[in-house]
Amino acid sequence: MSAVLVDELVRLYPDANEASPAPTRVDAPRGSFAAVHVLIEHAKVGDILPLAATGADDLPLRWYRLVDVPVAFNTGLEGWTTARKPNNENPHVTRKAPFRTYDACQPVQSPVEIKATTTALRAEFEVGAQAKPGKRDVTLKVGNLELRFALHVHAAIVPPAGKDTFGYTNWMDWGYGAGRYGLKPWSDEHWAAIRRYVKLLHRARQNTFCIWLWLVFDGVTPGPGPGENPVLNRERLRKLVDLLTEEGIWWLEGGHLAARANGDWFADHFHVWGKRGTSPEGNDLLALTCRQLMEEIKANGWEKRWIQHVTDEPIPENAQDYRILTGMVRKYMPGIPTIDAVMDTNLAGSVDIWVPKVHEYQQQREFYEAQRKNGDRIWVYTCLHPGGKWLNRTMDFEPLRPLLIGWACAKFGIDGFLHWGLNQWNEDPFTVGNQKHGGEGDERRLPAGDTHIAYDGDLQSGPWPSQRMEAHRVGLEDLELWRALQRKDAALAEEIMAAVCRGFDDYTKDVQAYRAARLRLIGALAP
């Protein structure tokens, strides 16, 4: 059996891996984590390996087993996958599909059982805000093998995610895990499962949580589907907000009030609880819903925390209906900012927090910056688009790409990042990497990982992060540090940024170049 240290930003595979420089030092600011991966080869299945570490006893250590998942189709050059249409082959992927790659991070304790001849582990040290700066000579012990590196804790401190940090949301599955775990909705066990997920989200720097309205309103169906008399379950909503607050989540993201009529993407209007939102009947339902929400928002002092979705991804075909609908929402929820993923720039004045896709923001930056000057805020998102060389979080892209989303957002002064897929798969993600997206056939499958950045795990170990989630977290920590340096020394901040990221489609893929720039960033923030 042999084992080597691998940088956590190097993608690993269970069948074959290219040699990469073993990290001899790991640098970490305080308020963060320091991690390395261990690649074990030629192991004997069934062996039991004890795991230990010396040299950093003051830093809590957690071990994970990296679990491999499939990628059947590559992300396409334009988005979707290479099965979507001809001439969509993407040269900007790490490997041509099909293949399996390590992504899920399963928490384990020593000793661990070897389940495959090639095994990957993650050793992660928690570097608290009060950790003592300085060098620690760490030895990881994996069975009879010893692996050494220097862990340098720096004086710079990453602020905890909260009200004043970069906005970040991932949408949790529609039932908040009840069906996944086979739990009775809103039982004590269900609430405990939600809390475990929220803890993971906050650790990943999420400070915003989407509250799906059909889960806090009685008398309605998901979608939002039909509901003649939506009644806010005030006790449930308060309990959920209390839980979020206790776990560090500040922003309350009200789920969509409306949905496309009959699920038709090109529908020219939207429904509110099954009725056309801009009809008299729809207006009555919208008013009833919004007034109940506003009563509860005011009663609990959430006015400065709540942001509200109207409907998802308006396009030119339904832009006129969206404009009317947002005006109605503002009438019934005065003072509450609206936020939506938007796909049409002809909606100026209709939304307070714009959320275009990263490539659409960059390609139409002049327009979006003009909206910012008018007082709007700008978030960005990714989904099944963009493909090609653009920054995204799919599993056939380098782990450096989700990390550098934070750098690109810092460069352009973006206010937040949204992704629809925290754990939104409809098939087992350990056997199906490219999930269905309506209809039949491979051409309707999504890029691997688009539906999820975390895995449900089990009730004992809780939800599992992914390698991509951890990389994205590091990038958002870097964003906060870079903004701090920008306030301190703008010229140096810009110099460091230029070495790493020039745009959402122009960035380094060299992990060592990134590490060097990050070390400069961390070091420049020493008192």
Q: What separation in angstroms does the CA of 108 have from each of 8, 63, 117, 306?
A: 17, 6, 18, 37
- Provide the pLDDT for residue 86: 78
Residue 225 pLDDT greater than 90, yes or no: no
Confidence category of residue 174, pLDDT binned at 50, 70, 90: confident
**Does residue 136 share a domain with residue 37?**
yes
Q: What share of the chain is helix, strand, coil (3-state, %, to 5)?
A: 30, 30, 45
Residue 439 has pLDDT above 90, yes or no: no
Domain co-membership, 277 together with 345: yes
The pLDDT value given to residue 352: 97
Are 142 and 235 part of one and the same domain? no
Quick one: 147 and 288 in the same domain? no
pLDDT at position 141 over 80? yes
Give the predicted TM-score (pTM) of the model: 0.97
Q: Mean pLDDT over all residues of the chain?
A: 96
Asked if the model's pLDDT at residue 374 lies above 90, the reply is yes
- CATH classification of the domain holding 11: 2.60.40.10
Quick one: what percent of the chain has pLDDT higher than 90? 91
Question: pLDDT band at residue 461, thresholds of 50, 70 and 90?
Answer: confident
* Residue 35 and residue 70 in contact, taking contact as beta carbons nearer than 8 Å: no
Domain final residue, candidates 140, 156, 172: 156
Q: Which of 173, 140, 136 is nearest to 154 (CA)?
A: 136
pLDDT category at 87 given cuts 50, 70, 90 is confident
- Residue 311 in any domain: the answer is yes
| pLDDT attached to residue 263 | 87
Last residue of a domain, one of 328, 355, 382: 355
Distances in whole angstroms, Cα of residue 405 to Cα of each of 65, 386, 410, 474, 498: 26, 13, 9, 10, 14
Question: Is 255 part of any domain?
Answer: yes
- Average pLDDT on 480-491 reads 98
Output the pLDDT for position 462: 86
The predicted pLDDT at position 324 comes to: 97
Tens digit of each residue's pLDDT (9 = 90 or more) over 249-264: 999 999 999 999 988 9
Confirm if 315 and 342 have CB atoms less than 8 A apart: no
Q: Do 16 and 98 lie in a common domain? A: yes
Give the contacts of 93 (CB within 8 A, at least 6 positions apart): 74, 75, 396, 397
Mean pLDDT, range 133-143, rounded to an integer: 98
Domain containing residue 55: 2-156
Residues 216 and 150 in one domain: no
Domain count for the chain, please give it: 2
Stretch 95-115: mean pLDDT, rounded? 97
pLDDT digits (tens, 9 = 90+) for 303-356: 999 999 999 999 999 999 999 999 999 999 999 999 999 999 999 999 999 999
